[in-house]
Structures are given as C-alpha cells and as structure tokens.
Amino acid sequence: MAPRRIGILTGGGDVPGLNSVIKSVVYNATEIGCEVIGIRRGWEGLTHMKRPEDLLSGTGRYDSEYIRPLDRVNTRTIDRTGGTMLHTSRTNPSKMRRDRLPAHIDPARFASMETSDGVYDLTPLVLENIEFLGLDHLVTIGGDDTLSYSSVLDRAGVAVIAIPKTMDNDVPGTEYCIGFSTAITRAKEAINRQRTTLGSHERIGVFRIFGRDAGFSALYTAYVTSARCVIPEYRFDLDRLLDCWSKTSARTRRATRS
C-alpha cells in the first residue's frame, strides 16, 4: 500500500512557533510511515500551483514554487528561528479577486466560479489540486481567516486538521493559540523598558496593545505588568479612569517621599 500523505500549510500573519509545529508534524508523521508535503504561501499554494501540463518539461512532477516535500533532514533545524519556512499569505480561495486569479489557467475556466462582481470561489480548483497531490489529510495552521476556509474544505469532505495560530488568542473553540504567549511576552518587555523613564519624569504611560476583535492581548499584558486595562469590549468613563490614575500617582509620590 502507498504511504499516507499529509499536506501542511501556514496562513495569515507569522508568529514564533510555526516552524516548531511544522517540524513536529513532520517528525511524528514520518515515524508512522506517512509522507509530508509542504504547501508554500498558505492557501495560495493550492490555488496557484501548476501541474505537469503547466510546467516546462524536465521540471519534475510538482511545482517547486509552491510544493515542497518535507522530511526529517530539511526540517531538522527550522525550529531554531521564528516565522514559517513554508512562507505565508492572506489568500482566501473562496474570496479571490479577479486580479489575483492564477495567470496560467484559461480565464474562461473561472466563469462558473464567480460569486459576485469580480470575486471568485476557487474551491473546485483547490479540491482538484488536493486530489492531484494525493493528500489523505491536510494540516492547516492559521487564524480565523485561514481556519474559516479549512471548515469549507471539511464540509467538502477533506480530512482537515486545524491548528489555531494568532497572537490575538481569539479563535472560537480553543483556549490557547500559537503566538499568543510571545505577543504577551514582547508587550511586557516593551512596557517594562519604559518604567524607568516614566518614573524619572513622574509621568503615566499609555500603551496601545494590538488586538483584532478581542482584548485578550491587552488584558493579559495588563495582568503580567500590574497595569490597568481598558479593553474594546466595554465602554469606559474617561474622567473616572483619569481620577484612578491621579490617585495612584499621588500614592506613589507619598511612598517615594516616605
């Protein structure tokens, strides 16, 4: 019997830990006799990859621009750096704009895939490419947009294993996302570097912590730095917030004098 074949891709923003996940998938898969195919540039790899009839003669079975076989040798050291060795993009095959369509495919082919003016759903093409690659399972590592398309393929019958990745920690149905811990650590370090300057000038620092739809990153950063937090889910009273800060500053000045 032919060995089972696993495809893996990363989509959306890059975070530390992606290469570690890729390596873990490769090492564990090869231990049980599976092959692993790396798909470069996220979902773009499954929409823009070329098949043998689209490639120049002598270039091999797979499009090297988008498809890369993975093994224990070429992934052995990838966990020593951040980012993703498979590269990434913010491609969503179900919402592909006309100017982003694969140039090597006859435009007439996409007529039946147009869902609205200038927007196309390339899911039929993705399913064809998955079948061509002979993938038994597809591992997708990404945030809300990447994983929302994973659910489209799941409904189409593809065996998908989704791994949540986002610094915002806001993927529904999971408690922890790859990249969240690093985001909190880096925010904490940045705030702590400012403490001496703020203290020297007797000032208050206001730090804006990025978060897509939720305030988890701001809330957890405030927790680990003993700061006060205003999160986007709740309206706040600015006068009350300023009064709280002024009282804290007054207590700090009294403690310093004593």
DSSP string, 185-253: HHHHHHHHHHHHHHHHHT-----PPP-SS--HHHHHHHHHHT-----TTS---HHHHHHHHHHHHHHHH
Across 197-203, average pLDDT: 85
The residues assigned a catalytic role are 168
pLDDT (tens digit per residue) in 135-184: 999 999 998 889 999 999 999 999 999 999 988 888 888 888 888 888 89
pLDDT bin (cut points 50, 70, 90) of residue 248 is low
pLDDT (tens digit per residue) in 4-56: 999 999 998 888 889 999 999 999 999 999 999 999 999 999 999 998 877 76
pTM: 0.83
104: pLDDT strictly greater than 70: yes
d(CA 103, CA 91): 15
Domains of the chain: 5-164 (3.40.50.450), 180-257 (no CATH)
pLDDT bin (cut points 50, 70, 90) of residue 86 is very high
